[in-house]
Structure formats: structure tokens, C-alpha cells
Structure 1
Amino acid sequence: MHEGNLVICDQEQQYARNLLQMFARNREAGIQMYLFHTVEEVERFAEQKPVHTLLIDKEYPPELREQIPAAERYVLITSRQDPLAENEEGVYRYQSAEAIWLQMRHEPAEAQDGRTSESEKPCTGERRKKQQNSGTDERGNSLTKANTDERRQAQHDPKTDPDPDELPEPKPDGRKQKASAGFSTGTKGELIGVYSPVHRIGKTRFALELGREMAKKEPVLYLNLEEYAGGSYYFPDQTGQTLADLLYYSRQEKGNLGLRISTMAGQDGALDYILPMPYVQDMQGISGEEWLGLFGQILENCIYQKVILDLGDSVDGLFQILEACHTVYTPYIEDGAARAKLNQYAENLRKTGREQVLERTIQKKLKQR
């Protein structure tokens, strides 16, 4: 396995998350791990960053796997008869994560007598072609149809094959997780601010609808930075980790925040979100510089092309954050008081030298409820 970017692409999401977490325990310096569930996601990643090592499910057809540029290519197989390209190496799916890791590190697992286990020797497309030409496998066994079928039946014996769902579970957070969150784009995405000085007009609903629409085309993360976000209404399942936890991890794990977010992010359709802070005192204790540092880490280390910030008045450094946004959406309603507040807000921006925020602002008229 090369140092650099290790990419896992697997349709069995729970199995893949377990495998990623077990790999993370053995992770060495210089290796960054990323998890996807579609070839399209990997291809988009490969356009931005090199794929040094690819571990991919055999359920993706060989012609699709070949489209992914990778220095080393491993395929999770369930049978030695699964088709492999010449530059691919088969890794048996139903073995321990440690055995898979050792094979990818070119350190074959050992049998009980200390010798290298034949069953753990890598199966490559090139080796298989030689075996087929000779009519034997690695052990010298005949590759006749009868023997092949017998071995295939033994390999798929439900009494002996462990169920991937029986692998140790990661610590549950009670929410559906989107593991594909844990990779870097290599180029910074955009911060999208949603802020209005006019309150109780459906701003959060607008921000979520905006995020869902954007998420149909590209990865999007929604963060609520309001003092009273009403998270239990918009996200009824409140058993998971919150934005406060993400800030803590960002201070501790600057190099691997993408992997951490992959285990924290909930989903609303295609939109990812982190639960808002439950206590306004915690929100008010975070400086504007720290918020901007967190957003920078997310854009640098995660998949997200857009990070939607649903901003409230109590967040420290509000104008700084608005300045950092590529676009600012300002919802409003047609009302005399609302118009007066918008004018006062705009005047404050001008007087503090932040006219560029107004230049990047899109005002959205909402229907009065």
C-alpha cells in the first residue's frame, strides 16, 4: 500500500464503515482514508486528488473499476473466480479487517504454524490467467468445473462465512450516517450564508430547502449557527453528536476531520447536516476566528462543495463570516418593519466597510405565513 490517499468504495455501507473504522486504528502517518459508495463519487474525487490505493467492491463491473486511476488496485471478492483485471489484486471480503490490511500492506497473514497461509496469498488477474492456462490453481488443484463448483460452494457456505453485519458496530449515534462525507476535494468549496435581520419568516426552512436542492447536484453540508435553532423540530432524532462535538474534534484532529464528520453527519435526503448546538452559552463562547477555522478545515478535508451556514445574530464575528461567504442569501417579507430592518442592516455593512457582502447578497422574498 502506498502512502497517500486510500479510497474505499463499497455498496455495503455498514460493512464499509466498520472496515474503515478498523483500518483507522492501524492508520500510519501519511495515509489518508476516504469512503464512497458509488464509482461516480470516486471519479469526482480522482479529478481533484490522486488515488494511491483503491479498495473496491467486486459488484462494480470491471469496466467501471478501470475508469478510476489508481496506483494500486484491490478488489473485495467472495470467490477466486470473480473476474479481475490484470492490474487488480483480489482481497477476500469475509476475513478479518486485520488480514485485509496486512495483505494491502504486502504483509501476508501467517497460519498457525508461522508459515504464510496459502488462502491469504493475493489473487491477481495476471496470476489467474496463468493458472487458467495451466489448468491448476495456486495449490496445484485442478480447475475442472466439478472442483471449481465444489470450492465455490464451500466458499459460500452460510454456516462458515461471517455475516458483514456481525462485524463490530461503531459507536451508534442513532442517526443514519453518510460515510462518504469523509474525503477531501483538494480544492476549496464555497461557504453559502443564509442570514436575515428579519426574524420568524421561515429562514431555516428556506436554508434547508436550498441545501436539499443544491445537494441534488453536489455534496452539501448544512450547519445551523442560530442561538435557538429549534433542532428538535427540524431534526427530530436528537441522539447524535452536535456542532459542539465537531468543534472539539476540529481542535484535536486537524488532519482527519473528514473521517470524523463521516461518522457524525446525519442526512436529510441527499443533504448532510450536523445537529446544532443545544446550549446558547456554548454558541456565544466560540469566537469568529474559531468558526472560520472550522469552516476552512471542512472545506479542505471533506467532500463538500457547498457548506450552508444558517446564521443567527448571536454568533460571534457575524460580519466576518458573511465576508467569507461566496454568496449570502437574505430572506425577507414585504412588510414596512421588515424593510426598515433590511435598510439598517445594509447601512451597518456599509459603515463597517463591508459593502462586498451586499454585492454578493441575493435577497429572497418569502411568503408571509
Structure 2
Amino acid sequence: MDQKVLAVCDKEEKYLYRLVECLENRELLPFSICAFTNERALRKFSSKTKIELLLIAESLYEEDLKGLPIEHILILNESGNEAGDGIKNINKYQSAEGIFREIMESCMENVQAASTRRLSGNPMKIIGNYTPIRRCLQTTFSLTMGQILAKKHKVLYMNFENYSGLSYLLNREFNVDISDVLYYFNCEREKLAYRLAGMVQSINGMDFIPPVVSYQDLSGVTGEQWLHLFQEVEAASSYEYLILDLSEQMHGLFNILRQCFKVYTITREDGFAAAKMKQYEAMLSMTEYMDVAAKTKKWNLPVFHRLPDGLEQLTHGELACFVKKIVEEDIYEQTG
């Protein structure tokens, strides 16, 4: 994707630089960002450099800006009344995340998407978390691993449980989810980088695509389609790790596990758990997926005296220490 210029103009310096910092931290944003505290500097810059998108405070907007070499303009509305003739207004005082999403929506409406290519030189590594045993902290383990990796790397987490409960745990409402990513992947694949950037949420620096409310929404998706989607995510982003929190409801589960760099399976010591593991491993053998078994690390988690109260605290405590050791000794050992 060719870098284009996003200009941000606002006389409130503290607001301006905080917004620019937040936007620059979103590596999927397909622009280089230039900040201006006054309209005169903006005009001088535009006389030499084409601006693809201008984000400007309502108090600084002038109608004659339309005559400058600026492809598209968004007004940061401060008054609550629409400003600019035919210019899209967005709420200046919403979160930086909200402004980011509005920018990406504008990209979809106005910016011609280029063909996607890998935004970083290294391939994306897929880590699969799957166990046939229920209630064994698989999701907690997956989220902890993702957030620990996110301290040093770009990480995307995807949850495929039937009932993840993630929106309730985070007390957030999600307007889009994995099914929307699939829709755009099938219908507007050339714009997936833009769409994806506007859909992801974040916990402690780890990006995630909100899971579906109804697992039936994914019932028609084949394993081959999932693998193609993961390839497109890799091509259209700079993610270094993709963490998959998997369940049996996914078609092509074994093929997905086969494509993983690492597979982690949480076990328990009781007889029922042992019987389920034996049946699962026998199925891998019968269906000639022993390569999946070979790359799988099984973990019988110790008893943790206290788990974190919320998902944002998962990088602290006993579980975090346990998972951090796995990251350092098992993942980094093989990746250097």
C-alpha cells in the first residue's frame, strides 16, 4: 500500500499531538501523518505536497480549503452543528479509537484501495490454542499469552468459542465481529486492510476481532476459507502473531491446527479429561494428522491461588508468570 498524507490541523496543541500519537500507534493506518497547529502552515504545506485526507477542527475550517490540492476533508466538529457545505463532520470529542474508525470509514468511501501486500518483512506466525476438555482456562491462557506477546510484537487474537462472553467481560458493545470480516473478505477483498483496521479492538496493546454473538453465523465457513482469510490478514497487515482460540465448531479444525506454528493444549489430571485426550489423539492418528500432535505442547496448569479480576490485568500474577515462561522458553526459543 503506498503511503499517502493525512494532515491533522487543530490549534489545541495538547489535543492535536495526543490524537496524532494515537493514530500513529495504529500501524494499519494507510497514511503518513502530518500535524499543524494553524491554517497558514497547512496551506503552505499543501502548496508543495498533495494531501489525501485532511482532518481539521471546525474552528479552523474555511470554505476555500476546498480549492487546495486536498482530496478529502473531515471536520472535527466542536459545536454540534454541521459545518462546511457538503463536508463530512465527525465528533471531535469522541475517543481517539472512534476517530480512527471514522477515518477508516472515510477511506472506504473515498480512497481507492491498492492491492494488499505484507506490511512487514517477516511472516505472521499462527499460534493455535485448542483442547477437547472444557473449563480448563483455555481462553484465559490464550488472552494472557496474546497480551504478553503484545508487549514486544504486533498481535491479533481471534476467539472461536460458541459463547465467548467477551463483550460482557469487557463491558463493551461491538458493532462488528468476525462475520463482518468474512463478509468483506468475500466481497471487497482488495479493501480488507482498510476494513480490518477499522474493526479491531484492543486490550493492553493486543488487537482482537470481536467474536460472533451466534456461533451459527460461522457454520457455513469451511476450513479452506478460514486459511485463506488468515493468509489475507497476513498480507494486509503487519501482525507478527495471530492467536487462535479454537473450538470444535470450526470446520477444518485439524487443517487449521496443521498450519499453526505452535499448538497449545490445556489438560487436566482427572479421568474424564484423560479419556477425552486419548480419544482426541486417537482421532489425530486415524485421520493422519500426527504432525499436529507432534507440534502440540500439552500443559497441565498448576492451581492458581488467585486469577486476575479482569481481562486487562492478565499480564500480572501467577498465571502471567507461568505463561511468560512459556513465551520465553518455547516461542522465542524457536523464533530467535
Tell me which amino acid in the other structure corresponds to 2:220.
G
Separation of aligned partners in 2, 1:285 and 1:265: 23
- Partner amino acid, structure 1, of 2:149: M
Q: CA deviation at 1:251?
A: 1.1
Matched AA of 2:2: G
**228, 238, 251: which one pairs with 1:303?**
238
Distance 2:226 2:262 in 1: 17
Output one character per residue of 1:31-79: Cα deviation in whole Å (capped at 9) or x when no partner: xxxx6338xx69xx9xxxxxxx97333xxxxxxxxxxxxxxxxxx3336
Identity %: 30
The TM-score with structure 2 as length reference comes to 0.64
Say which SS state the counterpart of residue 210 (structure 2) adopts: coil
Within the alignment, does 1:293 sit opposite 2:237 as a pair? no
Q: 1:93 to 1:177 in 2, by over 3 A?
A: farther
User: Contact 1:258 / 1:302 at 8 angstroms: preserved in 2?
Assistant: yes
Deviations 1:163-183 (CA, angstroms, capped at 9, x unpaired): 84647228xx99946959998
Work out which structure has the larger RCO, using CA pairs closer than 8 Å and 6 or more positions apart in sequence: 2
Q: Distance in 1 between matches of 2:99 and 2:282?
A: 42
CA pair 339-269 structure 1, distance change in 2 beyond 3 A: same
Tell me if structure 2 keeps the 8 A contact 1:194–1:308.
yes
Secondary structure (helix, strand or coil) at the match of 2:153 reads coil
Counterparts of 2:32 and 2:177 in 1: how far apart (Å)?
31
Aligned residue pairs, count: 259
Q: Distance in 1 between matches of 2:137 and 2:239?
A: 25
Q: Which amino acid aligns with 1:100?
A: I
Aligned to 1:6: 4
Matched position secondary structure for 1:363: strand
1:101 is matched with 52
Q: What amino acid sits opposite 1:227 in the alignment? A: N
Shift of 1:16: 9.0
Structure-2 separation of matches of 1:174 and 1:335:
47
CA RMSD, aligned part only? 4.3
Out of 33, 49, 58, the residue aligned to residue 56 of structure 1 is 33
1:329 corresponds to which of 255, 264, 275: 264
3-state SS in 1 of match to 2:158? strand
**Counterpart contact for 1:15–1:164, Cα < 8 Å:** no
- Match of residue 24 from structure 2: 36
Aligned to 1:78: 37
Task: State the alpha-carbon separation in 1 of the partners of residues 217 and 279 from structure 2.
Answer: 28
SS in 2 for 1:201: coil
Q: Tell me, what secondary structure is at the counterpart of 1:101? A: strand
Q: Which runs of 5+ in 1 are unaligned?
A: 18-34, 46-52, 58-75, 82-89, 104-110, 122-161
Matched, 1:247 2:182: yes
Give the unaligned 5+ runs of structure 2. 9-15, 55-62, 79-87, 105-115, 305-336
Structure 1 segments of 4 or more deviating over 4 A? 7-17, 90-95, 162-167, 173-183
Structure 2: distance between partners of 1:313 and 1:209? 22
Paired AA for residue 78 in structure 1: T
Quick check: 1:359 aligned with 2:294? yes
**Contact 2:176–2:210 (8 Å) recurs in 1:** yes
Is the CA contact (8 Å cut-off) linking 2:75 and 2:89 kept in structure 1?
Answer: no
- Flag the structure with larger Rg: 1
Helix, strand or coil for the counterpart of 2:213?
coil
> Cα offset for 1:227?
1.8
